[in-house]
Structure 1
C-alpha cells in the first residue's frame, strides 16, 4: 500500500506538544484518571481493581460492546466491533469494502483517512464539497449526481469536522434511503454525535436507519477520553462485521485491557460525562460569539450546530498558513490552517472543547490587534 502523508497529523506532530495553547484540537478536555474512576459503579470498579494485563477478546470486552450498543436503540452487542480508535476502524472497513474498480463518494473538507485510505485500496474517490455559502449543508442532489454504477461506499461525517454542520433530519433520512435504494454502504462518521448544541436535534445513527448503514464511534470526542484509543463500528450486516474482525487480526488484534474497562466506566456514566462536555462547549461558544462579533472585519464564521470544532475564514489579505504560523510563533496559540485539507478559501479549524480557550482566545485577540491595526 502507498498512501500520502496525513497532513493534519504531520502538522500536529510538529506543534501539538510544544505549543502551549491549543485552539484547534477536535476533542473535549481530557478526563483525569481519578475523576473518571470516581464515576465507576461497583461492578466496573471491581473489574478495574482485579484487572490483569493480558490479551483481550479481539471483538472487544463483551460488557463494553453491550454498553456501546446501548447508544443505539435496537442494536445488539454482537452488532458492535471495537478497535484501537476510530482511525483503525476506518482503515479496516474501507479495506474490506473497496478495491480496484470500485468507487466511493466522500464529503469534503474532512478527515483525510476517510478518502485517502479508499484511494490507497485502488478505488476511485469523488470528493463532495460542502460550501460555506450554503451554511456547510449537505446537497443531496450533488450526492445523487456523484453516484456511479460501481459506487460501493458513501462516507459522511455529521456532526461535521471541521465545520460543525448538521443536516436536517429529513436530509439524513433521504441519505439513508438512497443507500438502500442503490445498494451502497453508508459509512457514517458519528464521532461528534451527542455534542449537538440542542440535544433535541440529535440525528438517529445510520445503523438505526438502514441495514446498509455503518456507524463509526469513538471515546475521543464527545466523551473526552482520547487517550483510551477505543473506537467501534456498529452495523447490522453480520458478514461485513465478520470480515472486519478477520482483517483486524492483521492490525491490532485486540484492544488495551485498561482502556476497555475505563471506556466501560465512562459509558455507564455517560449522562454525567456528556453533561461535562456540553458545559465546556456552551461556555466556550459564548466567548467565541463575542470574539467574532468584535472582529467581524477580520473573520467570518458559520456558527457550528454541533460538535467541538468550527471552520472560520480569515478575511484579511494574508494566507491563512502564514497567519497560523506567525500566531503560534508569537503567541504560542495553535490553529489548524485549511491547507491541511487542501480546501480553498483561507479557512482554519478552531477547537471548542478545551478549558484553556479563554487564555488562548485572549492571545489570539492580542495578535490580531497587533497585526491588523
Structure 2
C-alpha cells in the first residue's frame, strides 16, 4: 500500500533550537505588514479551484506568462505532488540525488520508478545535460530538477536546461520537465535574477511558492505554471479533488506580499549573511569546506572532523543543522541555513558551531 514515509527533516517543525541553522529560508514577514482595513470585509467562503485571479495575474507577470497558465496550490509541495500523481503514477521519473526528500517521496508514493542522476560535493553539485540524457528512456514520463537546488543552493543554468529539453524531445517527447524554482529570486546583493525555465517549451513546468524567497511560509501559497492548457486543466481538477481551493484569506494576503515585495532588501540581508558564512568557512578551513551557493538562503558544508563527536558537540551547544543524509547526500555533509537568523544571531550560531568543531577535533 502506498504511504508517506516519515523523514527526519520533520524535526525542523519542532521547537526552535537555540542556534537555528537547519532552516532553508530567509527572514519571516509579519502579519501586520500585510493587513489592510478592507480585509475585514473579506467573505470566508470557498476560493476558486484555479486560484484567485488577482494572485494568478501577479505570479504570471513575474514569469512572462498569462494568468490562465498559473494554478495556485497549497504550498509548492502540493504542486509537486499533483504533478507526480498526474504525470508519473507507475511511470518512470528521472531526478537527482541529493534532493529535497519530500520531492523524492512524492514520486515513490505514486508508484513511480525513479532513475537517479548523482550530483555531489566534489563536483560542485553541477547537473550536466549529458548525465540527464544517460538516464532518459522512452518510458520516462517526468524529469524533475530544482534550480537552485535544495540543499546546495547551486543553480542549473538555462543553457543546460535547454540541452535537457532537446534530449527529452529526442528520447521521450511526451515527458515533462518539472523545474522547482523555489529559490530563483533569492539572490545576493546586486546579483541578477536568473530567468524562469517556463519559456523553454510547453512541456516545461515551473513550481515555486512564497515560502522561501518571500518569507511567507505560513501562508502556504505555491503555484504551478504551465503553458500546456490540457495540463493546466488537469491540475485544476486535481487540486479541486484534493483541497477544493486554497484559503481565500491566504490568497488575498499573498497578493499583498507581491504588491509590497522588496526583494532588494531581502537580497541585501542574504548577501550580508552569505559573506559572514563565507568568512566563517575560511576561518575554519581546517575543519570544514563548502560549496558556495548560486542563490537562496542555504548552502552545504562538509566537515573534516570526527562526525559523531561533531554532531554530539553541536547538539550540546544548541545548534540545529540539517543532516546531509536527509537529502541523500554523504554523511559528512550538512545543510547550513544562513538566511533565517539576523546577522548578530547568525554570528553567535556560527561561533557555537566553531566550538563544536574544535571539540570534535580535540576528541573531547
When normalised by structure 2's length, the TM-score is 0.92
SS at match of 1:99: coil
Separation in structure 2 between the aligned mates of residue 296 and residue 55 of structure 1, nearest angstrom? 54
Which piece of structure 1 moves more, 289-298 or 197-206?
A: 197-206
Q: Please state how far the C-alpha of 1:27 moved relative to its aligned partner.
A: 1.2
1:77 maps to: 67
**Residues 309, 352 of structure 1: 8 Å contact kept:** yes
CA displacement at 1:305 relative to structure 2: 1.5
Q: Deviations over 1:30-84 (max 9, x none)?
A: 11122344xxxxxxx46524212221112111100100101111x1001100111
- Give the Cα–Cα distance (whole angstroms) in 2 for the partners of residues 12 and 345 of structure 1: 18
Deviates more, 1:275-284 or 1:166-175: 166-175
Instruction: Give 1:194 shift.
Output: 0.6
- Tell me by how many angstroms 1:4 deviates: 4.5
- Cα distance 1:186–1:47, how it changes in 2: closer, same or farther (>3 A)? farther
Query: Size of the alignment, in residue pairs?
Result: 357
* Residues 188, 215 of structure 1: 8 Å contact kept: yes
TM-score, normalised to structure 1, is: 0.90
Q: Which structure 1 residue ranges, 4+ long, deviate > 6 Å from structure 2?
A: none
State whether structure 2 residue 91 is matched by structure 1 residue 105: no
Note the C-alpha offset of 1:200: 5.3
Does the residue aligned with 1:250 lie in a helix, a strand or coil? helix
For residues 305-324 of structure 1, the aligned pairs below 5 Å read 305-319=294-308, 323-324=310-311
Q: Which residue of 1 aligns with 2:32?
A: 34
Change (3 A) 1:156 1:201: farther
Partner of 1:258, secondary structure, is: helix
Alignment of 1:1-373 (within 5 A): 2-13=2-13, 16-37=14-35, 45=36, 47-73=38-64, 75-100=65-90, 102-181=91-170, 182-183=172-173, 184-197=175-188, 201-270=192-261, 272=262, 274-319=263-308, 323-328=310-315, 330-354=316-340, 355=342, 356-373=345-362
Listed as ranges, the gaps of 5+ residues in structure 2 are: none
Contact 1:186/1:206 (8 A) holds in 2: no
Sort the Cα spacing of 1:168 and 1:244 in 2 relative to 1 into closer, same or farther, 3 A.
closer
Preserved CA contact (<8 Å) 1:3 1:116: no
Question: Per the alignment, do residues 280 and 372 of structure 1 end up closer, same or farther by CA in structure 2, a change over 3 Å counting?
Answer: same
Contiguous gaps of at least 5 residues in structure 1:
38-44
Q: Is the 8 A contact 1:92 1:248 kept in 2?
A: yes
Residues 1:314 and 1:258: Cα distance change in structure 2 (over 3 Å): same
Secondary structure at the counterpart of residue 82 of structure 1: strand
Q: Name the CA distance, whole Å, in 2 between partners of 1:4 and 1:156.
A: 21
> Over aligned residue pairs, what C-alpha RMSD do you find?
1.9
CA distance in structure 1 between the partners assigned to 2:38 and 2:202 by the alignment: 34
